[in-house]
Amino acid sequence: MAVAAALTVLPSCATQGSSGDSSSHWLKTCETSADCGALECVCGVCTKRCDDSSSCKSLSASALCASSETSCTEGRMNLCISGSPPAFEGGLGGPRPLAYDEPQSIVVDGTSVYWTDINNVNKVPLHGGNRTILASGNYLTRIAVDAVNVYAVSLGDVVRVPIDGGALTTLASGSNDIRSLVTDGNYVYWVEIPGPLQEFLVDGGLVLRANNGPVMKVPVGGGTAITLAADQGGPFGIAVNARNVYWTNIGDGTVMRVPLAGGAPTMVASGQRNPAQIALDATSIYWTTDIAVLKAPLEGGPPVRVTSANSALLDVAPVIMDGTVYWLDASGLASTTFDGSRRPTVSLVPDAFGFALSGADVYWIHGGSPFRDSTIPGVYTIPRP
């Protein structure tokens, strides 16, 4: 498997002539290939060209074959890169890489970070270490985790894999476009929108419309998929607590809930422009739009604008922790108090398109271009602001 990524540069070493010991030169800085022994100097780093990751294992067991197109080489090259950055102490320093990859979705628990990368479900310890591929599949995207399993979406199927790895098991098949996926340890819940979102300009603002779709669940142990709510107005984000399932309808501007066991859906809020992803605390439901973060009581009531947002990423759910709401927008990782009493602060998380929180740290997935700004596509962490 080739992954689009770039090189991690280790501290510079002196020129070591033409020694054939490739591993001692790998990822050291260089000026010419004479500095790299049997390797090649590419963009100031000693590495070698590769066909697949197996051809890089002589350098390191964690080495990967990366397909890179850089400003300092002509065209696209497959190069060996590090697949497992070194471990570090949590809560210290600036951005740290945990793994270099093409991540699609991210989630954390008390010990590990989990992500999908199209071909694999992966995990790595919260504070760094060896990356583990839990399972391989086809076009793996959305992800959720409980104490026993990791759940993902694979080409429209809802699948699970044991938390320590194993075979993928299909829980539900043939779903349409699954926009969001969560679990409470008993069931996996998701929302579907058949077909693409449609964009319209209304009164000078962008309004999204979507086809109707269902809110679904399936037992984590397998069984028949259950429709909790049918023909919803573009269901987009989903969250659960001990009593209800909550979701947004981006197509008709509503926020809804239904009991875990099913029943008649109840409207929590209406008249919203592009309500997208959601999060819950003990009393309120929070949701993002492209221009704001809002909240309302769990049982329904007038929505309250928590704060403005700078083009919030609609596919990324906000997170509530320690009285603070976090979300991603065009400025980076933004946060404010849950009542909006503090002016939002922004932490730089380059090209982030997904994040999660655990303890003192923020974890995010980065999809930047190889070699650009020395930031490599992968999974990163910084101390939580």
pLDDT digits (tens, 9 = 90+) for 247-277: 999 999 999 999 999 999 999 999 998 999 9
Q: Which amino acid is at 262?
A: G
Per the structure block, which two tokens stand in for 367? 């999809």
Q: What is the per-residue pLDDT across 285-316, written as a single tens digit (0 to 9) for each?
A: 999 998 899 999 999 999 999 998 888 888 89
% residues pLDDT > 90 (the chain) = 50
CA dihedral angle for residue 221, residue 240, residue 177, residue 332, rounded to 10 degrees: -130
Rounded average pLDDT over 178-197: 93
- What are the Cα distances from residue 96, in Å, to 85, 100, 258, 355? 9, 11, 40, 14
In the chain, alpha helices (H):
22-25
Name beta bridge partners: 380. Answer: 97, 364
- DSSP-assigned letter for residue 23: H
90-105: pLDDT as tens digits: 444 567 778 877 899 9
Please tell me whether residue 273 adopts helix, strand or coil conformation: coil
Least confident window among 1-10, 30-39, 165-174, 302-311: 1-10
Contact, 16 vs 37, CB < 8 A? yes
Rg over CA atoms, the chain: 22
Q: Where are the domains of the chain?
A: 2-81, 96-383
Q: How many CB atoms lie within 10 A of CB 55?
A: 15
Q: Tokens for 68?
A: 């890179």
Domain 96-383 bears CATH identifier 2.120.10.30: yes
Q: How would you classify the pairing of strands 292-297 and 266-269? A: unpaired
Going by their DSSP bridges, the two strands 64-69 and 76-81 should be labelled as antiparallel
